[in-house]
């Protein structure tokens, strides 16, 4: 018998209950952290979340959030970066001030030595000898100071480069999925919002929601055990077979969303057909045993932007089309408002008896 599939409401209730039991405050950043931990998309987050123990302090949760969900702590990251850059700029200005003072003193010594060169009496010759000695010592100090300044500037450049990398990594973390290398749901929502920036004239595009056909053929325990490896497998094929110019995002588990710039639904269907074909050509292997589990099939639901009045309806309608594709037994692409669908291909070998 097929297991009943969890709905978003079921998951939301489980998360709210878990937060209450663990004494976690019901604030958005905590909710998303617990959601990500329960979804299991990031094994490192799951491990670190469990390691906090049964009762988790807000400071420990925030420390975990800064590591895995930095978008909630953007202000602190930027404040820290700003402080470091400000300190390094202050140090650099002090270096320049010291260098200017040193160069001024060095210039005075050169001027005094130059005056002594034009006088030929014995006293002036003695003064010249003293000036030359002073100039030599000053030159040695200047060379040493220049070397120190070069080292200081190099060290400051390294610090600034580190800050730049940290900010770049921070920006990438906000909108990417670590397990698959694709965009995440946050990046998808951000791009989706632009579609209806002008509600009266939405951008011409299509949204496809895809999910592997496992819900009716695997027990909940089996599906959970393979979900992360399956997501990585599908993500790898997407990166190779799906155009980089279009947006592909992992939502959660092994569920994926696509935002395709196309005016006609047949172009969206064509891209999804190519992806489904590519998946059938690459066998999925068990993450622990290495056993060949066969090829993966996808159910896909599609909705075009002109069929929905806002981003919420666009995704919701694509979800409904996906549900119809799954109800047909899977391995179908259903387009909202159209009766045509992609024919089913070969089934997973793993499910063959």
295 strand-pairing partners: none
DSSP helix/strand/coil, 95: helix
Contact by Cβ (8 Å): 298, 331: yes
Q: What pLDDT shows up at residue 349?
A: 37
**pLDDT tens readout for residues 34-75:** 887 776 666 778 888 888 888 888 888 888 877 776 654 454
Q: What pLDDT shows up at residue 300?
A: 95
Bridge-based pairing of strands 183-184 and 247-252 is parallel
Q: What pLDDT shows up at residue 162?
A: 67
- Measured between alpha carbons, how far is 68 from 28 in angstroms, rounded to an integer? 15
| Residue spans of the chain under pLDDT 50 | 1-8, 72-73, 75, 340-353
* 98 CB-near residues (< 8 Å, 6+ apart): 145
- Measured between alpha carbons, how far is 103 from 98 in angstroms, rounded to an integer? 9
- pTM score of the predicted model: 0.54
Instruction: DSSP letter for 216, please.
Output: T
For the domain bounded by 183-351, which CATH number is listed? 3.30.70.270
Domain boundaries, the chain: 8-68, 74-175, 183-351
**pLDDT tens readout for residues 92-150:** 666 666 667 767 776 776 666 666 555 555 555 566 666 666 666 767 776 677 677 77
Instruction: Region of 290 please: left (phi>0), alpha (psi -120 to 50) or beta.
Output: left
Q: Kindly give the interhelix angle for 265-280 and 220-241, rounded to the nearest 10 degrees.
A: 110
Contact by Cβ (8 Å): 166, 84: no
């Amino acid at each position: 018998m097929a297991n009943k599939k969890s709905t978003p409401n079921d998951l939301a209730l489980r998360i709210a209950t878990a937060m209450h039991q663990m004494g976690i405050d019901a604030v958005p950043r905590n909710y998303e952290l617990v959601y990500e931990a329960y979804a299991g998309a990031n094994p490192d987050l799951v491990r670190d979340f469990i390691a906090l123990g049964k009762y988790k302090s807000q400071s420990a949760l925030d420390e975990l959030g800064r590591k895995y969900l930095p978008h909630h702590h953007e202000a602190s990251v930027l404040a820290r970066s700003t402080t470091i850059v400000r300190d390094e700029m202050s140090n650099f200005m002090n270096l320049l001030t010291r260098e200017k003072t040193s160069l001024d003193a060095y210039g005075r010594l050169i001027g005094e030595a130059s005056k002594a060169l034009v006088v030929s009496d014995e006293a002036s010759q003695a003064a010249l000898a003293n000036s030359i000695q002073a100039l030599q010592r000053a030159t040695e100090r200047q060379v040493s100071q220049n070397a120190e300044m070069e080292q200081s500037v190099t060290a400051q450049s390294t610090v600034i480069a580190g800050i730049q990398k940290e900010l770049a990594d921070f920006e990438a973390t906000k909108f990417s999925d670590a397990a698959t290398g694709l965009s995440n749901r946050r990046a998808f929502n951000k791009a989706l919002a632009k579609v209806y920036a002008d509600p009266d004239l939405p951008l011409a595009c299509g949204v496809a929601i895809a999910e592997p056909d496992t819900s009716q053929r695997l027990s909940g325990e089996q599906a959970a055990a393979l979900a992360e490896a399956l997501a990585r497998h599908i993500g790898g094929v997407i990166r190779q077979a799906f155009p980089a110019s279009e947006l592909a995002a992992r939502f959660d588990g092994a569920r994926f969303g696509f935002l395709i710039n196309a005016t006609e639904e047949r172009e969206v269907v064509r891209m999804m057909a190519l992806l489904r074909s590519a998946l059938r050509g690459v066998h999925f292997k068990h993450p622990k045993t290495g056993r060949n589990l066969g090829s993966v099939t996808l159910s896909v639901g599609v909705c075009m932007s002109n069929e929905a009045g806002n981003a919420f309806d666009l995704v919701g309608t694509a979800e409904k089309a996906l549900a119809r594709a799954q109800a047909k037994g899977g391995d179908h692409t259903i387009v909202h408002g159209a009766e045509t669908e992609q024919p089913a291909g070969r089934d997973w070998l793993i499910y063959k008896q």
